[in-house]
Amino acid sequence: MFEELDYQETPLGSISLRRRSEPRLNNRIVYEVKMNDEFLMSSLFYEAELQLSYLGLAALDRDELNVVVGGLGLGYTAGAALEDDRVAQLRVIDVMAPVISWHQRGLVPMAKALTYDERCELVLDDFFAWALDGERDQACLDAVLLDIDHTPAHWLTASNEGFYSVQGLRAIADKLKPGGVFALWSDDDPDPEFMALLETVFSRVEGTRITFPNPYQELDASNGVYVAIK
């Protein structure tokens, strides 16, 4: 059985937040997000979301970091970024008002970590419109950490496709200071073709396979994290 904590209609369809007890894991409390009929995220599987922040910020050898996270979700990427004392300012951009409200209302586990930290601002906006806007935040960011689409080739909505191009990647690179980092989460392992595309824009690119246990299948699952340095 599960409890539906919130259900709302959005321009991208219906989105819901559910909480349930998992008897196969000693009744561990699990939070899940669904959009329409598709599961988007679960509090059981977030290691790669943490590593998106850890790996992205580890590539920076500087202090007083100004960071943008694209995609709020359950808050694990943003929370991991706030663990880094060098982060002076963190903006989390999400197009879904309900998702931001879950944190503001304390409905999800990471809510306090994000909303009580003065360095963190939750911004209702379209990340991809912001990314492609050449007038906003030019050359002022140390890192952009992106976790919205499933993979660079499997998008939450077809309108996001244009970002995963030379033009889109150049636009995000233009928002970074010299030596700044663009890091990206993917549901799949790093893809050589997308690595090659990143290399046309950034000076150094690394792809990391992140493994984590899947208790339902009793084996390891994996995601990918790309780190590109300007």
Q: Give 92-120 pLDDT, tens digit per residue.
A: 999 999 999 999 999 999 999 999 999 99
Query: What pLDDT digit, counting tens, does each position of 161-211 carry?
Result: 999 999 999 999 999 999 999 999 999 999 999 999 999 999 999 999 999
Is 70 domain-assigned? yes
In a domain, 31, yes or no: no
Instruction: Give 143's strand partners.
Output: 67, 181
Mean per-residue pLDDT of the chain: 95
Handedness of CA 21, 26, 28, 34 (dihedral sign): negative
Structural domains counted in the chain: 1
Determine, yes or no, domain membership for 6: no
pLDDT at site 216: 77
Determine the structural domain holding residue 85 and report its residue range.
46-229
- According to the model, what pLDDT value does residue 197 have? 98
Does 72 map to a domain?
yes
In a domain, 100, yes or no: yes
Question: Is 161 inside a domain boundary?
Answer: yes
pLDDT at 52: 98
In a domain, 30, yes or no: no
The pLDDT score that the predictor gives to residue 153 is 95
Mean pLDDT of 128-149: 96
Give the mean pLDDT of 42-64. Answer: 97
- Residue 11: the pLDDT is 83
For residues 6 and 2, what is the distance between their CA atoms, to the nearest angstrom? Answer: 12
Provide the pLDDT confidence category of residue 217 given band limits of 50, 70 and 90.
Answer: confident
Any domain includes 14 = no
| Three-state SS sequence of 127-176 | HHHHHHCCCCCCCCEEEEEECCCCECCECCCHHHHHHCCHHHHHHHHHCE
CATH number of the domain that 132 lies in?
Answer: 3.40.50.150
Question: Binning pLDDT at 50, 70 and 90, where does residue 1 land?
Answer: confident
